[in-house]
Structure 1
């Protein structure tokens, strides 16, 4: 019998190449966006394990060697495998970011002949660099009054650029949005939207959406989202 505790995919190198080509040629802002996406997805997957009451080391068999009937063993194994791959991706990405930082400091020193003061990853990749807006991939079709979506400030017609870790390149026909919602029940999700304002101008907003049950309606959000 196969080791039931093992992930369905073997651990090893990164699960896939970083999107948008070679990460070495990406800007600091793009690298930071990838870092945030990976962190958000890892958090969501951790939430999936928490919902089953397990972690990466919890046994999945009974004392006599049979699969436990009180948990979804297949989903847990798949989730663990995804976490392992994402952690490998995250490690590779952080190595790339560190290399970029060293090269950035070296270029400053070459030009000014002055050693730069130590700067953290967050400072280098934060507000000092203009944010590159992601493409919109979904549109809010309707919002129920007094729902979590309504409380967050979502409105019909809003176009979504980022929904947690879901974006144009990975949303998989909104499946990643659903996964993000289910894995973050009761937790804050950062949603970046583009809203039509006066004179057909666009307003870029960042909203904090907290999925929850028992708000008085169906689902965890209380809104209908369509892919663009």
Structure 2
């Protein structure tokens, strides 16, 4: 049945979104720890030299991964919304209305 498959797909997407959010939280905590560069802080000092107090390649990789995860999160959320709309419209279509029931 299509509804059952769509519901299972939606539940899988919800689990995937939760995993994505967890990974995003870990990266954000790592970037925003005391002395860290944050999500968009400078990677160079006031003279234009690379900061020596942070691992720049790791920070850049974390920021890139966070951007990828945010894009994935948006796509997953949109797909979940679409599936829920289809599931609700199918449910409403299969439920008899008050006028049809003769009461």
Which TM-score band applies after superposition, normalised by the shorter structure?
0.7 to 0.9
Q: Distance in 1 between matches of 2:42 and 2:96?
A: 57
Match of 1:45 in 2: 27
The match for 1:104 among 65, 69, 87 is 87
* Larger helix share, 1 or 2: 2
What is the deviation of 1:64? 1.6
1:95 shift after superposition: 0.3
26 and 66 in structure 1: CA distance in 2 versus 1, 3 angstrom threshold: farther
CA distance in 2, matches of 1:56, 1:50: 7
Corresponding residue for residue 72 of structure 1? 55
In structure 1, the gaps of 5 or more residues are 1-23, 115-228
Contact 2:7/2:87 (8 A) holds in 1: no
Match for residue 85 of structure 1? 68
Does the aligned pair in 1 maintain the 2:27–2:62 contact within 8 Å? yes
Residue in 1 that maps onto 2:78 = 95
Distance in 1 (CA, whole Å) between partners of 2:55 and 2:75 is 31
Higher relative contact order (CA 8 A, sep 6+): 2
Name which of 57, 72, 83 aligns with 2:40.
Answer: 57
CA contact (8 A) 2:17 2:73 kept: yes
Equivalent pairs, count: 91
Deviation of 1:74 after TM superposition, in Å, equals 1.0
In structure 2, list runs of 5 or more residues that go unmatched: 1-5, 98-103
When residues 82 and 61 of structure 1 are mapped into structure 2, their CA distance, relative to the original with a 3 A threshold, is same
Give, in angstroms, the shift of residue 25 of structure 1: 9.1
Residue 32 of structure 1, CA deviation: 1.2
TM-score, normalized by length of structure 1? 0.38
Distance 1:61 1:93 in 2: 35
TM-score, normalised via structure 2 length:
0.80
Matches within 5 A, 1:93-132: 93-113=76-96
